[in-house]
């Protein structure tokens, strides 16, 4: 698709991953974790998430190396392993997840701007909608100019966003107070370790950790544009390792600056007020500027992911052919336009609820569990069918990744599981349309069974929707 001079090197691939992962979430991460867990449980949560998401990253690296023909993003693993309908559900879920995530970016960006300009205070009002809309279509304009220009700007922003994060980590380590850190280390309510309470806290942190890792698949999505196929796996692991260290440092050391109760009651973005406690008002200024820079980069990276994955879905006859049209700069222009129009409409959620960021981020996490689970299951399938010399290690990686994904489905809870089903079935209408357009059989026999399950869960979701909205 792309000309040779526009192929992506390993730095650009890593830039997409880090920019996609480190976006809005990290600057409110201490609060999101403290709302659910104590310092001790937060450490356990990152260990579990690191192993689980690390296994998923290794699965992506392995599949990318062993299946070089599958360069249409992570959904191509689902399509190849489990058929067109599961491939469609995977790409539909991924596309919707990234779109919802982009809307969540808007609320935190303008919450940060509200620190400097009170008109945007809270990030969920009319001026914020107008401002977010301007940012949205400015990013659209940049991407339309070409992938090379967009990824170059993204790499510069990635470097810029790491500066305030490094400053934050250095400062909280310097101001660390072990007395505060070990106060009620295992629970907000007791000094003692109580296993059922710890497990409950762990369960509540799972969607938070998945949300902040969304984007780890960035290099795989753009594998068809990479200069070297081997760079895809390397970029995935390097990007994942980098952000894991950053995440653990920021959240864990924050408990040595403020108590869990204090952190969980902070306004967004919580990191600003934690650093302000250490170095004064300059800390809040540094973090809020970092938020703005970081989200701008993440917004670029995630928009690239959304338009690329929907374009690739069109190329593989899963999305309508309209998604495959390119402009003169080889950008999938219709995929980009459709994606950003949906984001624009969803920006209205800013004035629907005062918890837009938390709701949207966790919904985005819940929806993306389907494509991630398909990657883990395909890793097991490929390992079983090919039985190569590295099979034992790949089995272990696949089993851990699959178990972690299933745990996340359980941990996501009733509300987000139902909301996921409500987003999946409408996509089936597009799938049926595309199959008829290409004069193909709509469902294979086993896919009829899957469709019936999805439809039943959709009906159940509609019945339960009033209860969900009341929660």
Please write the tens of the pLDDT for every residue from 421-467: 778 888 889 999 999 999 999 999 899 998 998 888 888 878 876 76
Tokens of 352: 């629907």
Position 470 confidence tier, pLDDT thresholds 50, 70, 90: low
Higher pLDDT, 200 or 366: 200
Buried b (16+ CB within 10 A) or exposed e, 148-169: bebbebbbebbeebbebbebbb
Of 98, 129, 25, 149, which Cα lies nearest the Cα of 372?
98
pLDDT > 70? residue 363: no
Higher pLDDT, 379 or 414: 379
Residue 64, Cβ density class (10 Å: 0-12 exposed, 13-18 middle, ≥19 buried): buried
Higher pLDDT, 88 or 123: 88
In a domain, 175, yes or no: yes
Dist CA 404 CA 390 (whole Å): 21
From residue 343, how far is each of 128, 269, 362, 390 by CA, in Å?
14, 22, 17, 43
Pinpoint the alpha helices (H) of 214-280: 218-221, 230-254, 260-264, 270-279
Q: What is the model's pLDDT at position 1?
A: 40
Of 460, 366, 373, 461, which Cα lies nearest the Cα of 411?
366
For the chain, give the mean pLDDT. Answer: 83
Mean pLDDT computed over 82-100: 88
In a domain, 113, yes or no: yes
Dist CA 178 CA 193 (whole Å): 18
Residues 6+ apart with CB under 8 A from 101: 23, 211, 214, 302, 360, 361, 364
How many other CB atoms sit within 10 Å of the CB of residue 336? 24
Pinpoint the alpha helices (H) of 67-125: 75-82, 84-116
In a domain, 433, yes or no: no
Q: What is the pLDDT of residues 38-63, one digit of tens each?
A: 999 999 999 998 899 889 988 988 88
Strand, coil or helix: what is 226?
Answer: strand
In a domain, 386, yes or no: yes
Position 104 confidence tier, pLDDT thresholds 50, 70, 90: confident
- For the chain, give the percent of residues with pLDDT over 70: 90
Mean pLDDT computed over 286-301: 84
In a domain, 430, yes or no: no
Position 378 confidence tier, pLDDT thresholds 50, 70, 90: very high
Higher pLDDT, 418 or 165: 165
In a domain, 42, yes or no: yes
Most confident of 88-102, 167-181, 232-246: 167-181
Task: Please give the tally of structural domains in the chain.
Answer: 1
Q: What is the pLDDT of residues 123-149, one digit of tens each?
A: 667 888 889 899 999 999 999 988 888
Higher pLDDT, 254 or 295: 254
How many other CB atoms sit within 10 Å of the CB of residue 409? 18
Position 5 confidence tier, pLDDT thresholds 50, 70, 90: very low
In a domain, 133, yes or no: yes
From residue 321, how far is each of 149, 326, 432 by CA, in Å?
26, 11, 14
Tokens of 403: 């178990």
Of 399, 407, 409, which Cα lies nearest the Cα of 376?
399
Mean pLDDT computed over 349-355: 54
Q: What is the model's pLDDT at position 379?
A: 92
Position 3 confidence tier, pLDDT thresholds 50, 70, 90: very low
Q: Which domain holds residue 175?
A: 4-415
Q: What is the model's pLDDT at position 199?
A: 86
Looking up residue 180, the CATH number of its domain turns out to be 1.20.1740.10
In a domain, 425, yes or no: no
């Amino acid at each position: 698709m792309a000309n040779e001079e526009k192929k992506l090197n390993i730095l650009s691939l890593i830039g997409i991953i880090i920019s996609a992962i480190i976006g809005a979430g990290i600057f409110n991460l201490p609060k999101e974790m403290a709302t659910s867990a104590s310092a001790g449980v937060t450490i356990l949560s990152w260990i579990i998430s690191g192993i689980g998401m690390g296994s998923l990253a290794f699965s992506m690296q392995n599949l990318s190396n062993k299946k070089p023909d599958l360069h249409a993003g992570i959904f191509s693993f689902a399509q190849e392993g489990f058929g067109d309908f599961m491939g469609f559900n995977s790409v539909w879920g991924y596309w919707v997840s990234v779109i919802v995530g982009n809307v969540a970016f808007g609320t935190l960006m303008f919450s940060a701007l509200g620190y400097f300009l009170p008109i945007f205070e809270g990030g969920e009002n009319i001026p914020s909608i107008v401002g977010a809309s301007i940012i949205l279509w400015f990013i659209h304009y940049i991407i339309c100019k070409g992938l090379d220009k967009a990824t170059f700007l993204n790499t510069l922003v990635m470097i810029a966003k790491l500066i305030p994060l490094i400053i934050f980590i250095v400062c909280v380590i310097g101001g660390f107070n072990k007395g505060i850190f070990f106060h009620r280390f295992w629970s907000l309510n007791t000094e003692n370790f109580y296993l059922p309470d710890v497990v409950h806290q762990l369960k509540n942190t799972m969607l938070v950790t998945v949300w902040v890792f969304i984007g780890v698949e960035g290099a795989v999505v753009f594998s068809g544009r990479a200069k070297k196929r081997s760079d895809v796996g390397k970029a995935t692991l390097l990007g994942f390792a980098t952000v894991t260290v950053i995440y653990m440092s920021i959240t864990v050391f924050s408990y040595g600056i403020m108590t869990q109760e204090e952190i969980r009651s902070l306004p967004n973005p919580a990191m600003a007020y934690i650093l302000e406690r250490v170095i004064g008002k300059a800390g809040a200024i540094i973090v809020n500027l970092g938020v703005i820079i970081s989200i701008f980069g993440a917004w670029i990276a995630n928009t690239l992911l959304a338009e690329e994955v929907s374009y690739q879905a069109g190329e593989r006859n899963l999305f309508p052919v309209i998604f495959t049209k390119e402009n003169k700069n080889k950008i999938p222009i219709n995929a980009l336009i459709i994606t950003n129009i949906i984001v624009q409409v969803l920006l209205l959620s800013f004035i629907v609820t005062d918890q837009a960021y938390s709701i949207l981020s966790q919904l985005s996490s819940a929806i993306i569990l389907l494509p991630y689970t398909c990657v883990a299951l395909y890793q097991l399938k490929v390992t079983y069918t090919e039985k190569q010399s590295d099979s034992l290690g790949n089995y272990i990686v696949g089993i851990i990744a699959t178990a972690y994904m299933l745990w996340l489905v359980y941990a996501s809870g009733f509300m987000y599981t139902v909301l996921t089903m409500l987003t999946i079935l409408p996509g089936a209408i597009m799938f049926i349309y595309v199959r008829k357009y290409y004069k193909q059989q709509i469902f294979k026999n086993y896919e009829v069974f899957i469709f019936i399950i999805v439809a039943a869960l959709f009906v159940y979701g509609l019945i339960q929707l009033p209860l969900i909205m009341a929660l």
